[in-house]
Amino acid sequence: MKKIFLCASLLAGLAAFTSSCSKNNPNGGETNSADSIFVSLSSNTVEYNNFDYVAVSVKDKNGNDITSSCSILLNNTTAINSKYVPSGLGSFQIKARKGSQPSNIKTLTVVPKTNSPFTQKLLVEDVTGAWCGYCPRVAYTLEQYKATHPNCITTAVHGGGGGDPYKFQYYTNYNTQFGIAGYPTAILNRKSEWTEENAELDAQLANWAPLGLAISSTVSGTNVTGSVKVKFNVNTEKAMKIVIALVENGLVYPQVNYYSPQYGATPYLYGGVSPINDFVHNGVVRKTATNLFGDAIPATAQTKNNEYEVPFTMSLSGNTSGGTFTAIPANCAIVAFVVDGSTLNKGAYNVQYAPVGSVKNYD
């Protein structure tokens, strides 16, 4: 009888020990009992590049996904969403809570970003007009900069109230979108007005490229047909849009020039004559194959090493604001860029340029 009593006591002790162990999680002392919830991460390590995110999911004891009904905490204090984009380097603890029920704890390590395989390029859109006497200043400054910085890609959006045969058909839409108050104005990476300081351009070219673009096109009769490919170096669900534009170079038309003795603005530019009768207008925006402000890229396509392709066809003829044009294929190019697609207006992520009838690979 005594022997049987000792065995029963031993069994009871073992049961108590087992129950106690089930309530302790080796990751952080949180409960792990029958009514616990369990958090997991899509990856335990992520780069700090302002794009890559970690997906946090929460399940109950039966394996049901209950993420949407839980609060997710970073370092036990900061609430984050289920697709967390890190805001700094280091190691962070992530847990979830449903009501008073805490989950286990997972450690996320955020490491420095690696070098991008893509070159960061820069888009400058020169809002100009042949009638605008101060506009040669911006054109001249950009010409000088581009001579030593080929990754600076410029376009010219002609518009305004004076005479100009190259006025973009939708220049008023563009001006409204970017709050153009006067001429000249240059928009930097579809984000902000350029102050005409080269340091601003340098800073944008020094950015880290989250994606690259490739362009190919052919000319058939009066049409340009081709495609633009976007390749991602990140996993992101940031809203993104793509813009594909046709620009024309080598257009000669007199340009009013206030930087001349006739008008008195200094320093004198382009020989100090006005008008500049042989002024060459380059990068003139003729039309877009997409919406002027971009077509949405599906979030499902924005995964690392994935390619997203957009085919296009554009006629070489079209309308200006007040007239028509027929572009010369040998003078034309495709400019394609990916922009922030949210209301935050964070600007262009990268841009590519390729003459019509050519192939430009990722670089």
Q: Which pLDDT tens digit goes with each residue over 100-109?
A: 889 999 999 9
Q: Which pLDDT tens digit goes with each residue over 182-196?
A: 999 999 999 999 999
β pairing state of 122-128 and 152-158: parallel
Q: Which pLDDT tens digit goes with each residue over 53-72?
A: 999 999 999 999 999 999 99
Query: What is the secondary structure of 164-229 as a DSSP string?
Result: -TT-BTTHHHHHHHHT--SSSEEEETTTEE--S-HHHHHHHHTSPPSEEEEEEEEEETTEEEEEEE
Say if residues 293 and 340 touch (Cβ distance below 8 Å): no
Name the band, by pLDDT with cuts 50, 70 and 90, for residue 20: very low
HSE toward the beta carbon, residue 289, CA cutoff 13 A: 24
- Amino acid making up residue 197: E
Q: Which pLDDT tens digit goes with each residue over 287-309?
A: 999 999 999 999 999 999 999 99
Q: Which pLDDT tens digit goes with each residue over 154-205?
A: 999 999 989 999 999 999 999 999 999 999 999 999 999 999 999 999 999 9
Range of weakest confidence among 71-75, 216-220, 344-348 = 344-348
Query: What's the confidence (pLDDT) of residue 213?
Result: 98
Question: Model pTM?
Answer: 0.87
Name the band, by pLDDT with cuts 50, 70 and 90, for residue 18: very low
What are the structural domains, with CATH classification, of the chain?
27-112 (2.60.40.10), 122-360 (2.60.40.10)
Residue 31: closest CA among 107, 102, 106, 105? 102
Query: What's the confidence (pLDDT) of residue 345?
Result: 66
